[in-house]
Amino acid sequence: MAITFLFCLFLARFFYIQVIWQDDLNARALDQWTREIPISAGRGNIYDTNGELLAGNTAAYSIFARANAVTDAEGGSLLLSEALGLSYDDILGKLTDKSHSEIVVAKRVDKSVVQRIEGAEIAGVYYARDDVRFYPYRQLACQVLGFTSYDGSGSTGLEQYYNNFLAGERGEILFETDLVGVDLDGAAAAYIPATDGMSLTLTLDYRIQSVSEQVMEAALKEYNAKAARAIVLDVTDFSVLSMVNLPSYDLNDIPRDDLSALNRLSRNALVSDVYEPGSTFKIVTAAADIEEYLQGNAAAYAPNRIFSSARTRTVDGTTIRCWSDHANGKHSNQTLAEALNNSCNPCFVDIALSLGKETFYDYLAAFQFGRATGLDFSGEAIGMLLPESTLRDCDFARIGFGQTIAVTPLQLACASAAAVNGGRYYAPRLVKEIVDSDGAVIEQTSPVLLSQPIGEEASEMLTSMLEGVVRDGSGKKAYIEGYRVAGKTGTAQKYEDGRIAQGKYVSSFVGCFPASDPRYLALVIVDEPQGAYYGSTVAAPCAKQIFEGIIDIFDLPPVEE
């Protein structure tokens, strides 16, 4: 019985080693009897929508050493230290360190240096290509593109989000060696080719991005602002045409030794940060009101219905005031269009309270507030929307004019685009297609309709009113003769530690053109401008300049009235 048991145990062990453990043992044997020279995969390029290179590669090399195969450590260290400009002692330590099978001597070395080392034929020292990421436009769209780590892996932005596509798969050259890692004479090398990464074609247009950055850079300096941001969307499908976050940094000179600065400068605040939008949010409130009116809701304010001319509204004992003193008949006998022109807060309090929490929150959900937009980008915030069940009437009233709610700039831009494009809310996107190294399209993105918060008629009525804001109201500085711009200004106070921060404002403008058939939408935000701070003064002119840049780029003719 004991013999039978031992025999069965021996058979089980034999089966485990020969079958179960086979792959692992083969891998260990291969590692012991071979020396591997890694072959880096070429990282995929990133192009703008026109095929302009935004992120590519420049040739560089890494130098490796296998101490067991080094025959002249002193001589090799001397040559390497001279060629690489590194410490002789440090290199000697690496060439004689037999505790590691392979050691990196230097990374990202120029080809001329490699040629010098290659000509010396130092035993146990070899090299492999290790490309360096290169960004031809330096700081352009830096927070969107992102950057790679020292090992070439995506760290932030699209470089990180699409890393699995961009990275490719490393190859190897295998040389047979003896037990101590010395190459065997006459042994053949095995070559496992690398698979290059795929390339991305973005929806970004580098020309619109450049114009937007120039405009916002000028505003940042003129108003000595804390930050200046802008986003441009194609309202027909929510393709992102430009994203600007200033201050910015040079992608070819990343401040890796100052993590605080790097985290601040590399953050795409248009996607990741939230703020109280202020009066630009009145677009959403007006859209809900117009749609409810068209649906026959008697609580909605009809386009010709007159709002109370009183300067204040009192809700739950809280007094809400208009920015204007309403003296000498100002803001009296206002219709919805005039309330938008004048940016009169009490009128939008009336709308929110008339529609009620349940109805208004249904529209907020349809406009995707309180959730991610679905952009192909990491770190998107969902905003801050108080639960309907816990909302006090005074807080709800403030949502009507853009307070007591926090949104990302991207959320506001997308909601505004849906409000003027016929009521269609698409998932915004940054990548148009993914192409392999042979040029074959592997994946092509298409517009994804998420919701339809309002109908065509409501959208047309609203856009016409917003055109009046630019033609006759607070948005006059965004007016462009012959191009029918529509939009809304915003001037929001900032809060710190739950209190209003005196003298700190966010100036903004969101607008589109042509109003007759909207195609381009821009949201402009200037954070903490000094001196002037009204959105009508600070932000609206920036949107005008961005739109004029687009007109020049595409040579767009004026729109007939």
| 352: CATH | 3.40.710.10
Q: Is residue 5 part of a domain?
A: no
* Sequence-distant (≥ 6) Cβ neighbours of residue 381 within 8 angstroms: 271, 272, 273, 274, 372, 408
* Pair 539, 489: CB distance under 8 Å: yes
Task: Determine the average pLDDT of the residues in 391-412.
Answer: 95
Cβ-count burial 228-262 (b if 16+ within 10 Å, e if not): bbbbbbbbbbbbbbbbbbbebbebbebeeeeeeeb
More confident residue, 473 or 38: 473
State percent of the chain over pLDDT 70: 89
pLDDT at 180: 47
Q: How many domains is the chain partitioned into structurally? A: 2
pLDDT tens digits, 241-266: 999 999 999 999 999 988 899 999 99
* Distances 320 to 107, 273, 399 between C-alpha atoms, Å: 63, 27, 12
Quickly state the pLDDT bin for 28 (edges 50, 70, 90): very low
Is 323 strand, coil or helix? coil
* Pair 115, 109: CB distance under 8 Å: no
pLDDT tens digits, 305-355: 999 888 889 999 889 999 888 887 788 889 999 999 999 999 999 999 999
* Pair 330, 344: CB distance under 8 Å: no
Q: Is residue 46 part of a domain?
A: no
Q: Is residue 401 part of a domain?
A: yes
pLDDT at 3: 66
If asked whether residues 168 and 215 sit together in one domain, one would say: no
If asked whether residues 166 and 284 sit together in one domain, one would say: no
Whether the predicted pLDDT of 170 surpasses 90: no
Q: Is residue 22 part of a domain?
A: no
Tokens 């021996």 sit at which residue?
A: 10
Known catalytic residue: 343? no
Task: Determine the average pLDDT of the residues in 411-415.
Answer: 98
Residue 343 is given by DSSP the state T
If asked whether residues 250 and 106 sit together in one domain, one would say: no
Kindly report which listed range (126-140, 461-475, 535-549) carries the lowest average pLDDT score: 126-140
If asked whether residues 198 and 213 sit together in one domain, one would say: no
Domain boundary among 163, 178, 202: 202
If asked whether residues 246 and 179 sit together in one domain, one would say: no
* Sequence-distant (≥ 6) Cβ neighbours of residue 396 within 8 angstroms: 352, 353, 357, 360, 404
If asked whether residues 198 and 231 sit together in one domain, one would say: no
Task: Determine the average pLDDT of the residues in 491-509.
Answer: 86
pLDDT at 7: 57
Domain boundary among 166, 184, 202: 202
If asked whether residues 155 and 272 sit together in one domain, one would say: no
Annotated catalytic residue, options 77, 279, 459, 508: 279
Q: Is residue 432 part of a domain?
A: yes
pLDDT at 77: 76
If asked whether residues 490 and 463 sit together in one domain, one would say: yes
Q: Is residue 233 part of a domain?
A: yes
H helices within 332-408, ranges in order? 336-342, 345-355, 357-366, 393-399
Whether the predicted pLDDT of 487 surpasses 70: yes
Tokens encoding 379: 């770190």
Quickly state the pLDDT bin for 92 (edges 50, 70, 90): confident
* Sequence-distant (≥ 6) Cβ neighbours of residue 449 within 8 angstroms: 424, 425, 426
Torsion angle in degrees (nearest 10) through CA of 34, 37, 38, 42 = -140
pTM of the model: 0.86
Quickly state the pLDDT bin for 26 (edges 50, 70, 90): very low
If asked whether residues 211 and 198 sit together in one domain, one would say: no
Q: Is residue 34 part of a domain?
A: no
Tokens encoding 416: 């505004």
Largest CA distance in the chain: 112
pLDDT at 105: 80
Q: Is residue 527 part of a domain?
A: yes
pLDDT at 466: 98
Task: Determine the average pLDDT of the residues in 539-550.
Answer: 98
As a whole number, the mean pLDDT across the chain is: 88
What is the distance between the alpha carbons of residues 96 and 82, in angstroms, rounded to a whole number? 18
Task: Determine the average pLDDT of the residues in 263-286.
Answer: 96
Quickly state the pLDDT bin for 33 (edges 50, 70, 90): very low
State percent of the chain over pLDDT 90: 65
CATH number for the domain spanning 104: value is: 3.90.1310.10
Task: Determine the average pLDDT of the residues in 184-205.
Answer: 76
pLDDT at 30: 44
If asked whether residues 400 and 426 sit together in one domain, one would say: yes
If asked whether residues 213 and 150 sit together in one domain, one would say: no
Domain boundary among 153, 171, 202: 202
If asked whether residues 194 and 336 sit together in one domain, one would say: no
Tokens encoding 63: 């130098």
Give the range of the structural domain holding residue 259, as residue numbers without chain letter.
206-554
pLDDT at 38: 66
| Burial class of residue 81, CB neighbours in 10 A (0-12, 13-18, 19+) | middle
